[in-house]
Amino acid sequence: MPEALPERAPLSSGDISFFDSLTHVTADGSWLGSTQRDASCERLLAELDRCMPARACLVAIADVIENDTVLDVARRYPARFVPIGSLNPATFDSEREIANAVATLASAGFAGLKLHPRLNGYDPLHIKVIQALRTAGDQGLVVFLDTLFRQAGRATRNAPDLADALAVAAPQTTIILLHGGGSQVLAMSEVVAAHANLVLDLSFTIHRLAGSSVEDDLRFLMRTFDRRTIVGSDFPEYEPLATRDRVCQLCTGLDPVKAKNVLAANLERLLAPWLAAHREDSRA
């Protein structure tokens, strides 16, 4: 990784106007094997500066972005990033090994665990996945679950049904449903409403489906489901400023508190224990 840039001013709870739920950086700045998008740390910092005061979850992806890369950047910029580690449950031989690996992530200082069934090619309902979910809850890690489950060569149930089953299988684990199931985002919100351990995330979907029939669903969620919803840019897929502005557009005419909930307050509350435990680091 390149030499650290000067750290931005520390932020305290309540200062954040945008808390991006999903960002990525890579060691060489490439993204998913291509240089078409710039996934460098320097670019992400510059993009966050455009919508200050801002903080972001910096998320690893097993077999794509190393945990060490994420932890290194987060430690160099503690006022900006909350590190989220990742593993592929399918690569472990036993549930005990999975439990040990998740515990290691927690002890290393990660705030959450990213699971990506589609990119890593595993069944979202496999017992190894459920073991990872349960152990994450035991270790105080929030699970960031990619819900664009469809895979070539593997039939999967609808995203809301999968989320429903996983919420029941790991009721003590807080699970962020990244991308909100895509086009099934409204049905996914109904599942979230039924389970206290679920959180609806609109990253990627809020941009990808703009102008489609889902647009009305997104406006409805901003109006009626703002306290259970968070949002991220999925950087480098999209930019934090564009994501913040998109939420504000969807909240036009609504109580400003609703936009604040989605943009920052909900994620601040969700990660409050980790943020409190690492407050001294962020002031360093």
Q: Would 228 be classed as within a structural domain?
A: yes
Residue 235 lies in a domain: yes
Position 6 in a domain: no
Please answer whether residues 191 and 163 qualify as being in contact, where contact means their C-beta atoms are separated by less than 8 angstroms. Answer: yes
Q: Is residue 146 in a domain?
A: yes
Asked if the model's pLDDT at residue 232 lies above 60, the reply is: yes
pLDDT digits (tens, 9 = 90+) for 70-121: 999 999 999 999 999 999 999 999 999 999 999 999 999 999 999 999 999 9
> Cα–Cα distance between 84 and 112 in angstroms, integer?
5
Q: How far is residue 127's CA from residue 268's CA, in Å, rounded to a whole number? A: 31
Question: 23 is written with which tokens?
Answer: 């960002």
**pTM listed for this prediction:** 0.93
* Nearest alpha carbon to residue 110 among 149, 58, 148: 58
Q: What is the CATH number of the domain that holds 164?
A: 3.20.20.140
Residue 11 clears pLDDT 60, i.e. is over it: no
Q: Count other Cβ atoms within 10 Å, centred on residue 35.
A: 10
Does position 165 have pLDDT exceeding 70, yes or no?
A: yes
Beta strands in 38-173 (DSSP E): 54-59, 81-86, 112-115, 142-146
Within-domain flag for 3 = no
Single-letter amino acid code for the residue at 188: M
pLDDT tens per residue across span 86-99:
999 999 999 999 99
- Give me the residue label for tokens 């985002």: 185
Residue 156 lies in a domain: yes
The model's confidence at residue 2, banded by pLDDT at 50, 70 and 90, is: very low
pLDDT of residue 280: 55
| Confidence (pLDDT) at 68 | 97
pLDDT in tens, 211-231: 999 999 999 999 999 999 999
DSSP letter at 230 equals E
Q: What is the mean pLDDT of residues 27-44?
A: 92
Which domain covers residue 125, as residue numbers?
Answer: 18-282
Q: How far is C-alpha 80 from the geometric centre of its chain's CA atoms?
A: 15
Residue 12 domain flag: no
User: Tokens 């309540």, residue?
Assistant: 14
Report, as an integer, the average pLDDT of 269-277.
94
**How many domains does the chain divide into?**
1
The reply to whether 163 falls in a domain is: yes
